[in-house]
Amino acid sequence: MAQFRPTSPHLSVYRFTLTMTLSILHRVLGIGLYLGTVLFALWLGAAALGQDQLSAVQGFFGHPIIQIGLFLYTWTLFHHMAGGLKHFVWDTGAGFDAASREAITLATLVFSIVATVLVWAVFVWF
């Protein structure tokens, strides 16, 4: 009797790496970009309609849960931008060895976190 073997690699074959994890996270965060863009459009529409509408939306955005969402939206924007730059480097054919791949992936994560904290520190917190 022949032993059953999968026809394609299974998750148990691979060791999860930072590159794989952030690739999956990148796709999930794409959904978050859609939701955040709706909030951004709401803010722009309120700004176009007048001060009363803008004040109402600003009050809504001032809620702590919405502030956390906006912070994560900012991080998602920077993460996607850094991911695009990472893929631009990969499109040149560079950075495909394991060490370089992990290093550039870690750099995109660090950049997105630092850029988010800097933007919020300069434009929101202070």
Between CA 40 and CA 76 the distance in angstroms is: 14
Answer yes or no: is 80 a known binding residue: yes
Q: What angle do CA 85, 88, 94 make, to 5 degrees?
A: 115
Q: Which residue has the tokens 């849960």?
A: 65
CB 43 within 8 A of CB 73: no
Q: Which residues make up each annotated binding site for heme?
A: 80
